Structure 1
Amino acid sequence: MSINLRTFFSGAFAVIIILLTALLIWMIGSESTKSVEKSIGGSLAGEANRMAEKLDHFMWSRSGEVQVLSKLAAFQEPYDKAEISGLLNELKSSLPVFTWVGFLDSDGNVLSSTDNILSGQNISQRPVFQEGMKGLFIGDVHDAVLLSKLLPNPGGEPLQFVDVSVPIYNKQGQTTGVLAAHLSWEWSREVERSIVDPLKERMNGVEVLVISRKDDTILLGPDNLIGTKFSDKVLQKVRAGQNSWMVEREGGDDAYLTGYAYGDGYLNYPGLGWSVIIRQPAEIAFASVHQLERFIILSGLAAAVVFGVIGWFLAGWISRPLNAISKAADLLSSGACVDIPTSARITDVAVLSASMQNLVDNLTKTESKLSYMSDMAMHDSLTGLPNRAALDEFMAHAVSKTKQNQTTLSILYLDLDGFKRVNDTYGHGTGDVLLQQVAGRLLESTRDHEIVARLGGDEFVVILHTSAGKPMQESEIVATRIINKINLPFLIGGESLHVGCSVGAAVWYPDAGEPAEAMRLADEALYISKRSGKNRITFEAAS
């Protein structure tokens, strides 16, 4: 197999550019990925750390409020249940996150509570009481047990709480009861929104996960993930107390750029060890890198094309004489009009060029003669209008087009009224000029894709493309326009001459027979116009 010089140069240049492009993609893509990973990953890790701090700060604040409340004198013996209930309800009213707050005696009996829920019941078996008797207790997120049917829940979602309880001491320092509170876990959504909403304005597809240290359950995140187990190597790094980022995969092939932080408490609040993970699909995180890679690919391909073209022209310059002759020959074969180039530097090329030029000149002269003869055979020598042969050729194409478009052809047979008198009075020369002017007016009355043909003498045929719905009305408009134009005076040799025009018309439909029958009917209609007073249009009834 052999290749020409142009192909070799173009291919070599293109391959070199493509290889260079691949190298650039690898180098720039690798560095850009590291840069984007560091930038976005660091941002996600920072937001994860901020959310962990917010969660811990919130729990620290709420536990502090419960502790301060437990120091009030109202909880010292003897108890004033009305005052205690007022304090508890005021706390809930001021901070709705306290879904339920209750004051329990040392036996676990609920002495007072918000909205009197569980009042008088014993909850000594609940961790919020048992752990609260020992000291400050902050429990992890759990589903509602006793309160699930007692608290209003318009949305119907499972109720979840975080417990806070502290022991109550009398003036002698003895434990006399427990102040217990259930904080609605919905408060975490507010923290989530405060972090995620601004983040989503800068990053698409970001999601937040808060995972329990107790059982690796997802406490906060997308609805379809809450309550499920989270198992991934990133969790091991979070539990190790690291606040950083990584690219990780969860289960399948979905990759994420993940920032993570560990909730290790706030001031004297030890924290519940919640792991906060903020992640973004790697496809979105590295979209800018992929876009840069696509840009490099497109630029490389464009460069390959440009240098391929340069190679093409370089090889063409090297082999210019023969290629120029070859290109000229190709153009000539496609119908273009070009000269065969010559080259004085190479004798053989000069001889070949001269021989081809002589051949082209001879062929051009022969083609011109044939074209002129063909044109003369298809047109009327006096008016320049198509003749009967051209009309037959036009009809063959028009019939095919009409059948395809489901339209019609309207045939107008025309004959001049009073033409013989002009010939007899002013001579045949004047009559010929009159026919030429009539031909011009007929062309003005029709469209470019229609035909006006002269059959002989003062007899003409017009073929119109008309619609399937109203062919007679459309052809009558054209025929009337023709009659009006022909009736206008003709200025010839200083004389104002007048002739009329009789028209016979017929319509050919695609489902009819041969169009020759419609031509015959139009011819018959012409004679009806003549006998009926001339200068009018008649449609053949049989059409």
Structure 2
Amino acid sequence: MTLKGQIIGATLGLAIAVAAALALVVGDLVTDQIRERIGVSLSDLSTEMADRLSREMAVRIAEVNVLAGLPALGDVQDVTQTRSVIEHLQTSVPEFSWIGVLDTGGTVVAATDRVLEGVNISHRPVFIEGIKERFVGDVHDAVLLASLIENPTGEPMKFVDIAMPIYGPDGETAGVLATHLSWSWVRSVEQALLSGAASRRDVDLFVVSADGTVLLGPDLSLLGQSLAFPAITEAMAGRTGWAIETWADGEDYLTGFTEVRGHGRFEGFGWVVLARSPVAVAFQPITDLATRIAAIGLVFAALAAALGWVISSRIAGPVKALSRAAHALRQDQTAAFPKIRGPREIEVLSEAFADLVGSLIAKQTDLDAVTDQAFNDPLTDLGNRASLEKFIALRQHSEGAYAVLAIDLDGFKQVNDNHGHDAGDVVLQEVAGRLRGCMRAGDFLVRSGGDEFLAFLVMAESSIDSPIRRVAARIVDQISEPFQVSRSDGRKPLALRIGASVGIGFYPRDGAGLSQVITLADKALYRAKRDGKNQVRVHGDGAAATAKAAAAPL
């Protein structure tokens, strides 16, 4: 082979080697991070679905609890009045497929649409358990109502039973308020989660019962099937995460998993939520990255071959310099690619390699920026639940002291209902700004839910809470100030008013872990709402009154 051919071959081989080295360095650097990020995103989706299920169930139980305590239901024999009350609830909350009031013998005296009126269902769990105390039954097939009420979805009818005793004016048991909560509402929660992001169009959500039976799936043929693989076992053990699992169809899926834990009055049934995506689809970004790196390597290999065609014997020295630079880059992934002095062609090649390294480092920087965005709430620019979990994990066993403030907006639902979600978003953004104004250097603030926030205030001593009470009071005052919301038609801006309730717990004074203290702060928050809203309650204050209230019958 001629010298020119040897030079071309040597240059081309070196270019391929450098491109391969860069691909190896960058591939190893980012592939594991991308895999982890994709897996965590599915795990987060399953967690969000589980959280919504728990909260929705807790709300439905609370609604039935309030209805059962209405004096209007105390006289179950007043059928007209009783039917009016329960039909109003069904109109307001269509997720209740059927609501009935039973006398103490188990006979339905009043029901929505008069379905089952006069029928004795004393053998059903809603009466057997509901006459004694609050009863929440797991998902089950329709028994009495399958042929009596409409089923627009076409799916097999399933219900969750919620029943509570009704007490008359004399305090004696007067009957039972029994409800059937349609399982179809879970489908609407699933659609809401999946329709909001185009990147989730290849994701399926499953809800699985404690015995592994599919309660919710992407198509009807999967309902009632039994699933058994390690991810479900992990979730039932209380763990959240992701794994690659082989499903019944023989395909491998990236699977995020979590258990549906209780919330409020809902204690949970051991349901498991699974979010799956085909492995080939889920890891497509990794394949795309590898393809781009290979294409860049081929481009520069071709460039090197063209340059080698016109390079003379002076190429030997610069080529060695290129080899040394590539070796140095392999040893130090952050090192800048040096500019090689020599013939013009060699200088151009070295600059091209420097641009490639800079481009790949910039891509890594962009990936890091995407990671940062994953921890921010896009509406308020506060931390989100992922950043909250990271904060707790980093400080769970620290020696620092924190005041945990659980903040919930009062009257915010009416803003959305009366003025639309755009106005609600403006209010939430302004609330975030006002909350930031109440924080100090070192404090941490997150949006933990729709209109819920958590603040972690650094304390010099865990036993001094007076300054924290003043901060909480200032938050209540700030949120109580009117919000100015512009109108699209140019009319005078809306002046909207809401309030805020705040519950406070102290770490480590009130609990050994931040998660435990967050729960205590939530309980103090619920007490603030129960006591009239727009006020502050601290965990440990009024303990005797709280205990007395807990002992009273529902």
TM-score by length of 1: 0.53
Please, what is the CA RMSD of the aligned residues?
Answer: 2.8
Aligned equivalent of 1:63, options 50, 61, 74: 61
Q: Which residue of 1 aligns with 2:85?
A: 87
Q: Sequence identity, in percent?
A: 37
Aligned equivalent of 1:225, options 211, 222, 238: 222
Q: Which residue of 2 aligns with 1:250?
A: 247
Cα distance in structure 1, aligned partners of 2:71 and 2:97: 23
TM-superposed deviation, 1:5:
4.5
Q: Which residue of 2 aligns with 1:96?
A: 94
Cα distance in structure 2, aligned partners of 1:45 and 1:154: 32
TM-superposed deviation, 1:265:
1.2
TM-superposed deviation, 1:23:
4.2
Q: Which residue of 2 aligns with 1:208?
A: 205
Structure 1 residues 33, 224: closer, same or farther in 2, change over 3 A? farther
Contact preservation (8 Å) 2:53, 2:186: yes
Q: Secondary structure at the match of 2:228?
A: coil
Q: Secondary structure at the match of 2:224?
A: coil
Is 2:282 the counterpart of 1:281?
Answer: no
Q: Which residue of 2 aligns with 1:38?
A: 36
- Cα deviation, 1:188-225, whole Å, max 9, x if unaligned, reads 12222222211x33444122222222443242434443
Q: Which residue of 1 aligns with 2:164?
A: 166
Structure 1 residues 157, 202: closer, same or farther in 2, change over 3 A? closer
Cα distance in structure 1, aligned partners of 2:30 and 2:246: 20
* 1:144-163 aligned within 5 A: 144-163=142-161
* 1:514-529 aligned within 5 A: none
- Cα deviation, 1:116-144, whole Å, max 9, x if unaligned, reads 11111122222222222332121222221
Aligned equivalent of 1:139, options 137, 140, 144: 137
Cα distance in structure 2, aligned partners of 1:17 and 1:222: 52
Aligned equivalent of 1:266, options 263, 267, 272: 263
Q: Secondary structure at the match of 1:38?
A: helix
Contact preservation (8 Å) 1:162, 1:183: yes
Cα distance in structure 1, aligned partners of 2:219 and 2:275: 12
Cα distance in structure 1, aligned partners of 2:213 and 2:21: 44
* 1:83-482 aligned within 5 A: 83-171=81-169, 173-198=171-196, 200-251=197-248, 254-314=251-311
Structure 1 residues 155, 274: closer, same or farther in 2, change over 3 A? closer
Structure 1 residues 306, 31: closer, same or farther in 2, change over 3 A? same
Cα distance in structure 2, aligned partners of 1:7 and 1:224: 65
TM-superposed deviation, 1:150:
0.7
Contact preservation (8 Å) 1:110, 1:118: yes
Cα distance in structure 2, aligned partners of 1:275 and 1:302: 49
Q: Secondary structure at the match of 1:271?
A: coil
- Cα deviation, 1:371-423, whole Å, max 9, x if unaligned, reads xxxxxxxxxxxxxxxxxxxxxxxxxxxxxxxxxxxxxxxxxxxxxxxxxxxxx
Contact preservation (8 Å) 2:206, 2:214: no
Q: Secondary structure at the match of 1:135?
A: coil
Q: Secondary structure at the match of 1:149?
A: coil
Radius of gyration: which is bigger? 1
Look up the equivalent residue of 2:236 and give its one-letter code.
R
Cα distance in structure 1, aligned partners of 2:173 and 2:113: 25
Structure 1 residues 78, 143: closer, same or farther in 2, change over 3 A? closer
TM-superposed deviation, 1:165:
0.9
Cα distance in structure 2, aligned partners of 1:178 and 1:56: 24
Contact preservation (8 Å) 2:132, 2:165: yes
Contact preservation (8 Å) 2:213, 2:224: no
Look up the equivalent residue of 1:210 and give its one-letter code.
V
Contact preservation (8 Å) 2:74, 2:168: yes
Cα distance in structure 2, aligned partners of 1:20 and 1:68: 71
Structure 1 residues 216, 227: closer, same or farther in 2, change over 3 A? closer
Cα distance in structure 2, aligned partners of 1:147 and 1:165: 16
Contact preservation (8 Å) 1:265, 1:271: yes
Cα distance in structure 2, aligned partners of 1:204 and 1:19: 39
Structure 1 residues 24, 5: closer, same or farther in 2, change over 3 A? same
TM-superposed deviation, 1:227:
2.7
Cα distance in structure 2, aligned partners of 1:19 and 1:218: 54
TM-superposed deviation, 1:163:
1.1
TM-score by length of 2: 0.52
Cα distance in structure 2, aligned partners of 1:29 and 1:218: 40
Contact preservation (8 Å) 1:9, 1:311: yes
Contact preservation (8 Å) 1:218, 1:229: no
Look up the equivalent residue of 2:180 and give its one-letter code.
H
Unmatched 5+ stretches in structure 1: 319-543
Contact preservation (8 Å) 1:129, 1:178: yes
- Cα deviation, 1:218-275, whole Å, max 9, x if unaligned, reads 4243444333222222112222222333444435664433333322111232122322
TM-superposed deviation, 1:155:
5.0
Structure 1 residues 253, 12: closer, same or farther in 2, change over 3 A? farther
Aligned length: 315
